[in-house]
Amino acid sequence: MASDEIIRLAEDIRSMRIRGAAEIGRAAASGLKSYALGSRSSDAPSYMEGFDEVYRLLMNTRPTAVSLANALNYIRHRVLGAYRDGAPTEVLRQTTIDASDAFLKSSLEAVKRISEIGSKRIRNGDLIMTHCNSSVAISTLIEAKRQGKDFSVIATETRPRYQGRMTAKALSAAGIPVTLIVDSAARYFMPKVDKVVVGSDVVTANGAVVNKIGTSQIALAAKEARVRVYVCAETYKFSPSTMLGELVEIEERPPTEVVPEGEIAALGNVKIANPAFDITPAEMIDAIITERGVIPPQAAILILMEEFGYRIGEEQTGRVFVEEEER
């Protein structure tokens, strides 16, 4: 049974107190580790019953974030393997802890590596636009600053949750000149911009990028102004299910994020739509920067084939690829 700590963690992910694809993935991994550390199961079946309950609880918090699903499946794949081999409870518990730690370590190392690679794309005098609050995009910009490069950033507010304000604050604290703008001003400023650098929540098999709502509009304005668009994305944000033609579910957030609850009635019969993400086609993206290097978006399928395999209906031995019916 999920502990109060894990239930609070799940609610923090669902309510966006924990936000950002990388942070969500690491939080999910920490949740399974927390279960293992707190479990008092005396036999393997009861341990797995509790494990799967926590797995499902965390899996259902944010439907779009593939980082969450891949983090959970990375761990579950290894625990299931041990369970099928007849491992006792203590081995299952240690396998959960070790797999969680391994994911957390690889996630942080990926951010560091992407920052090193991505910072090479930034030049002295650049004006860079970014959107939302991507930890890997922020790390890339801060790494470029650490290298002594002189550039400035335009950060969008990223309504309705204003994550861009956190980005502006973090970059400013690192000594990078930042201008905060409303989202609708992106096209106005785009002719002055040299590069767009954003993060990603999902990269699909055809190279499309699912990211915070408004990203596709920025990419469209960039294409019109002939400004390069770079997406920073760890390989665990690549979606294996899209290799089989599955569509990415776009999360719809509560209308109260757009209009305060007390003011909704005054609008009358007005429907409020609040999608959290949009999809930027591959042709609007110049390159995806991963911990493995810089790739054109059309090469996303190669990353997926190498990371997850492409044998339908089998579990792979690389990063997790779990049959849909097991989720």
Catalytic positions, written as ranges: 132, 201
Residue 229 · residue 199 · CB < 8 Å: no
Tokens of 245: 């033609």
Tell me the backbone φ, ψ of residue 203, rounded to 5 degrees: -115, 125
Tokens of 51: 């494990």
Element (H, E) at 146: helix 135-146
User: Rounded to 5, what percent of the chain is helix, strand, coil?
Assistant: 55, 15, 35
Q: Which residues contact 106 (CB under 8 A, 6 or more apart)?
A: 236
Residue 74 · residue 319 · CB < 8 Å: yes
Amino acid present at 194: D
For residues 266 and 261, give the distance between their C-alpha atoms in angstroms, rounded to a whole number. 10
Tokens of 25: 């993935």
Amino acid present at 292: R
Q: Which of 23, 18, 14, 76 is nearest to 201 (CA)?
A: 23
Tokens of 275: 């999608």
Task: Show the CA angle centred on residue 25, arms to residues 154 and 159, nearest 5°.
Answer: 35
Q: Examine residue 160 and say whether the peptide bond preceding it is cis (omega within 30 degrees of 0).
A: yes
